[in-house]
Amino acid sequence: MKSIRGRLFLILMITTGLVWLSAIGWIYLSTQAKVEKVLDARLVEAARMVSSLVASQGMDPAKAAEFHVAIAEPHPLYDRQLSCQIWAFDGTLVGRSSGAPGTPLTETDEGFSETRVHGETWRVYAVADAERGMRVMVGDNLSVRDRLVADVIRGLALPAIVALLALSGLIWFSVGRGLAPLNAMARALANRPASDLSPLTQTGSPSEIRPMVDALNGLFARVGALRQRERDFTAFAAHELKTPIAGLRTQAQIALGAGEGDVRGNALEQIVVGVDRTSRLIRQLTDLTNAENGDEAGQGETVNPGQMLELLADDIRRHKTGSVAISIAPELHETTLAADPFLFSLAARNLLENAAMHSTQGGRVRCTLHRQDDSATVMFEDDGPGIPDDELSKVRDRFFRGRNKTPMGSGLGLAIAELAMKRMGGALHIANRDEGGLRTEMEFRLSVKNDT
Amino acid sequence: MRILIVEDDEVLIDGLKVGLGLAGFTVDAVETCADAAAALHASTFDAVVLDLMLPDGSGLDVLAEMRQRDDATPVLLLTARDSVADRVSGLDAGADDYLGKPFDLDEVAARLRALTRRSTGNASAILRWKSFQLDPASMSVSDAGRPLRLSRREFSILRALMDRPGQILSKTQLEERLYGWQEDVESNTIEVHIHNLRGKLGPGRIETVRGVGYRLAESGA
Quick check: B105 and A250 CB within 8 A? yes
Residue type, A301: E
User: What mean pLDDT is predicted for residues A250-271?
Assistant: 87
Residues of A with CB under 8 A from a CB of B: 238-240, 242-251, 253-254, 257-258, 263, 266-267, 270-271, 273-274, 277, 400-403, 405, 407
**Cα B210 from Cα A44, distance rounded (Å):** 159
Least confident range from A68-77, A195-204, A257-266: namely: A68-77
Residue A440 pLDDT > 90: yes
Residue A70 pLDDT > 80: no
Quick check: A243 and B12 CB within 8 A? yes
Q: Model ipTM?
A: 0.73
The beta-carbon neighbor of B18 closest among A254, A274, A402 is A254
Quick check: A242 and B55 CB within 8 A? no
Residues of B in contact with A248 (CB under 8 A): 11, 102
pLDDT digits (tens, 9 = 90+) for B184-209: 666 678 888 888 888 888 888 888 88
Residues of A in contact with B85 (CB under 8 A): none
Is the CB of residue B133 less than 8 Å from the CB of residue B156?
Answer: no
Quick check: A244 and B9 CB within 8 A? yes
B106 has a chain A CB within 8 A of its CB: yes
Residue A68 pLDDT > 60: no
Interface mutation vs chain A, best among B9, B11, B13, B16, most A CBs within 10 Å: B11
**Top-ranked range on mean pLDDT: pick from A43-47, A293-297, B33-37:** B33-37
Query: For residue A74, what pLDDT band results from cuts at 50, 70 and 90?
Result: very low
| Among A349, A343, A351, residue whose Cα is nearest residue A395 | A351
Distances (CA, A) of A18 to A160, A331, B217: 12, 70, 120
**Cα A338 from Cα A424, distance rounded (Å):** 9
Residues of A in contact with B138 (CB under 8 A): none
Residues of A in contact with B12 (CB under 8 A): 243-244, 246-247, 250
Residue A264 pLDDT > 70: yes
Residue A330 pLDDT > 80: yes
| Sequence spans of domains, chain B | 2-120, 127-216
Is the CB of residue B153 less than 8 Å from the CB of residue B193?
Answer: yes
Pairing of strands B2-6, B47-50: parallel
User: What mean pLDDT is predicted for residues A203-227?
Assistant: 85
Interface mutation vs chain B, best among A232, A243, A273, most B CBs within 10 Å: A243
pLDDT digits (tens, 9 = 90+) for B25-77: 989 999 889 999 999 998 889 899 999 888 788 889 999 999 999 988 999 99
**DSSP secondary-structure letter at A200?**
P
- The answer regarding whether domain B2-120 maps to CATH 3.40.50.2300 reads yes
pLDDT score recorded for residue B48: 95
pLDDT score recorded for residue A449: 43
pLDDT digits (tens, 9 = 90+) for A191-207: 888 888 888 887 777 88
**Cα B43 from Cα A43, distance rounded (Å):** 134
Residues of A in contact with B10 (CB under 8 A): 247, 273, 407
Instruction: Count Cβ atoms within 10 A of the Cβ of residue B141 and give its class: 0-12 exposed, 13-18 middle, 19 or more buried.
Output: buried
Instruction: Please name the residue of chain B whose CA is at the shortest distance from the CA of residue A269.
Output: B11
Helices (H), chain B: 10-22, 33-42, 59-68, 84-92, 105-120, 152-163, 171-178, 189-201
Residue A378 pLDDT > 90: yes
Quick check: B8 and A401 CB within 8 A? yes
Quick check: A250 and B16 CB within 8 A? yes
Residue A237 pLDDT > 90: no
Q: Where are the beta strands (DSSP E) in A214-336?
A: 302-303, 325-328
Residue A75 pLDDT > 70: no
**Cα B85 from Cα B91, distance rounded (Å):** 10
Quick check: A251 and B81 CB within 8 A? no
Residue A439 pLDDT > 90: yes
Helices (H), A385-431: 413-423
pLDDT score recorded for residue B10: 86
The beta-carbon neighbor of B15 closest among A240, A242, A251 is A251
Quick check: B8 and A402 CB within 8 A? no
Q: Where are the beta strands (DSSP E) in A47-194?
A: 82-88, 93-96, 111-117, 120-129, 134-141
Quick check: B105 and A254 CB within 8 A? yes
Under CATH, which number does the domain B127-216 receive?
1.10.10.10
Residues of B in contact with A240 (CB under 8 A): 80
Least confident range from A224-228, A296-300, A413-417: namely: A296-300
Query: For residue A447, what pLDDT band results from cuts at 50, 70 and 90?
Result: low
Query: For residue A379, what pLDDT band results from cuts at 50, 70 and 90?
Result: very high
Quote the pTM value. 0.61
Helices (H), A179-209: 180-190
**Cα A302 from Cα A338, distance rounded (Å):** 4
**Cα B161 from Cα B159, distance rounded (Å):** 5
Please provide the DSSP assignment of B93-156 as one string. Answer: TT-SEEEESS--HHHHHHHHHHHHHHHHT--SSSEEETTEEEETTTTEEEETTEEE---HHHHH
**Cα B45 from Cα B1, distance rounded (Å):** 8
Separation in Å, CA of A446 to nearest CA in chain B: 38
Residues in chain B: 221
